[in-house]
Structure 1
Amino acid sequence: MNPDPQHPRRGALALRLLALAAVAGLGAALTFGYLGRLHFAFDSFSHLRLHFAALLLLLVPALAALRFRAEALFALALGLAAPIQTVLFPPGVEIAEAEAGRATYRLMHLNLRYDNATPEAFLSLVGRTRPDAITLTEVSEPWAARLALIEAAYPYRIVCERPTFIGGAAILSRRPFVEGSPPSCGNRGAFAHASVDFGGRGIEIVALHMGWPWPFEQPWQIPRLEPLLGEVGESAIIAGDLNAVPWSHAARRLAAAADARILRGAGPTWLDRRLPAALIGWIGLPIDNIMVKGGIVAGEPTTLEDVGSDHLPMMLEFSLAPAREPVETVVANSE
């Protein structure tokens, strides 16, 4: 039986087509992520932008070994361009250092996870770090009872009830709420809003929890959150589990509604516990985000130790810019 001389050629062609399909598929997924303004379905791709880019870069050595030079160069260019544009040159990020002598404060944010099996780890972290204010999501009924244990340290609070078992948003504060500005809940308990007195100045704090990207809740939830964010005052901190990365159209749309800027630099905050421990930090997603506006002089947010949730706690140190002095208007005498 004579060997088929066309067999090696057919094998090489199939391999080339497979390589082309992999590069084209990942390239398309990357491109779709930049079209979120057109439809929420495209925006869903943006959350995995860095993962798609990493897969393209992993393909480069294999493509080069197979002498698929054009495909290798395309994968290399696209795999490098996406993370450089997204991570190294993010739009609208302002990180500042507090001036010497100016009072500094700290805000902690965490998605507690409604069924967290180690609530004492979070309570211990709060006791050790003593943030001035805490924003929380997934405050389920069991969590609401446990948070009562730190009520003496955080007597000013609002816990929003949500008609689901995962619970709602909450704000806890060591500092009093501004008199005459009662805290409020919105979006079926996913939005908590309070005005907190920081050294005689009222700073508005928001805790929010968005649903999952398309085809889940985000497309109908965002239009309901935008009016609530539009009512947030001149100086505010908005923290929440957005289920959206900061460069997504969904996150940027919320920031635009509040006229706020998204702080970057904390790294992945959501961790899939099914992954090997060595990979969790690399494959996680930065879907917990903090936004600031007005007179908030914000540092770079950081992540803290694991406390049993599938999210990491975040800490933001900030200070307040000097209050604007009222401008006296002098009316000239017309006589």
Structure 2
Amino acid sequence: MGNEHPIWTALVRIALVLTIIPLAAGYLGWLHPLGDSLAVGRGYAAGALALLALVAGLSGLQMAAFGSTLLALVTGAQVALAFLWPGPPGVFLLYQKNVWQANAELTALADDIGATRPLAVTLQEVTEPNLALLQALKADYPGQLYCPEGGSGGNAVLTRLPVVPGSETCAPGLAALRIEFAEREVWIVSIHLSWPWPSDQAGHVAQLLPVLAGLDGPVLMAGDFNMVGWANAVRRLAAAAGVVQAGPTGGTYLGFGRLMHLPIDHAFAPDGGRITLRPAFGSDHLGLLAELEP
């Protein structure tokens, strides 16, 4: 088929190249933040490459088909494992939620937090109206840190455990509170990163790295990272905090519709943990219930 239709085989070759280049560039977030933006679509690109490899094989491009199939399997397997592989269950239950700045179902969200009874809660997009959620949970979660910010709102950490006095830490897109747990002091960190390139997520990460590296002791970190867990930006933050991602990841951001739920909300602990998704409750993000291992 390929020899008889040179224009068709040329088009297949071009399509393969145009798929492979952004797929490969998605691993270069360490070199330029564009790489992280491309990493968001790694699963879709791997699937597209697998289909093109099949077309290439039918077109007589056997070597191109073999190489493309191998690349699609390797890159796609990483994404598939992130979605399918459960982490080990931990002993610290944490509820993670981007509330959404205009949430009209705060009562339902408060009820779900009350029903699951986590030891700590990390929140993002906490605006003035959303402070009602903190007030509703005050009796059960007296330890509260709210770091206000403009725009879409600030970050908050809530806990039912004793708080280490003077540990309250606020930074752009970050709230951190040190608590006492199992005869240890553990940091609870709420993160909300900027949008990726062409927005300045890389600059925001650079601001937060020294803050996370300066936290002494075990860290439990969760939030809306606006980035997939396999991207360079998230990996750098995890390395600075000395933590690994809890799994499995899931499509938590619902803003692009039913066909594209992006896995951009994550939780981390020194020894990882296991994630269960919670309903949206008026937000454009699903919640995470994370069993973390400090």
Aligned residues between the structures: 293
Partner SS state of residue 16, structure 1: helix
TM-score with structure 2 length normalisation?
A: 0.89
Aligned to 1:255: 238
Hey, what's the Cα distance between the residues in 1 that align with 2:257 and 2:156? 28
Hey, what's the Cα distance between the residues in 2 that align with 1:308 and 1:58? 37
Partner SS state of residue 247, structure 1: coil
Query: Please, what is the CA RMSD of the aligned residues?
Result: 2.7
Instruction: Spell out, residue by residue over 1:229-251, the C-alpha distance to the aligned partner (whole angstroms, 9 max, x if none).
Output: 11112111011111121111111
1:182 paired to 2:167: yes
Hey, what's the Cα distance between the residues in 2 that align with 1:46 and 1:54? 14
Hey, what's the Cα distance between the residues in 2 that align with 1:158 and 1:79? 45
- The 1:252/1:105 distance shift into structure 2, 3 A limit, reads closer
Unaligned runs of at least 5 residues, structure 1: 1-8, 99-103, 321-335
Corresponding residue to 1:196 among 162, 173, 179:
179
Unaligned runs of at least 5 residues, structure 2: none
Counterpart AA for 1:245: V
Hey, what's the Cα distance between the residues in 2 that align with 1:263 and 1:145? 29
Hey, what's the Cα distance between the residues in 2 that align with 1:26 and 1:181? 51
Corresponding residue to 2:44 among 13, 33, 51:
51
Kept in 1, the 8 Å contact 2:220–2:292? The answer is no
Alignment of 1:218-229 (within 5 A): 218-229=201-212
Percent of aligned positions that are identical:
33
1:149 paired to 2:99: no
Shift of 1:130: 1.4
Instruction: Spell out, residue by residue over 1:82-128, the C-alpha distance to the aligned partner (whole angstroms, 9 max, x if none).
Output: 122455499xx994455xxxxx3310111111122332331221121
Shift of 1:139: 0.7
Hey, what's the Cα distance between the residues in 2 that align with 1:135 and 1:248? 22
Partner SS state of residue 268, structure 2: strand
Aligned to 1:331: none
- The 1:121/1:56 distance shift into structure 2, 3 A limit, reads farther
Hey, what's the Cα distance between the residues in 1 that align with 2:150 and 2:121? 22
- The 1:121/1:20 distance shift into structure 2, 3 A limit, reads farther
* Higher RCO (Cα < 8 Å, 6 or more apart): 2
Greater than 6 Å deviation, 4+ residue runs: none
Shift of 1:262: 2.4
Corresponding residue to 1:291 among 256, 265, 268:
268
Instruction: Spell out, residue by residue over 1:250-306, the C-alpha distance to the aligned partner (whole angstroms, 9 max, x if none).
Output: 11111122222223313222223533xxx3xxx32221122223xxx5432221223
Alignment of 1:205-244 (within 5 A): 205-244=188-227
1:42 paired to 2:62: no
Aligned to 1:127: 114
Partner SS state of residue 27, structure 2: helix
Hey, what's the Cα distance between the residues in 1 that align with 2:82 and 2:229? 13
Shift of 1:66: 4.2
TM-score with structure 1 length normalisation?
A: 0.79
Aligned to 2:74: 81
- The 1:319/1:224 distance shift into structure 2, 3 A limit, reads closer
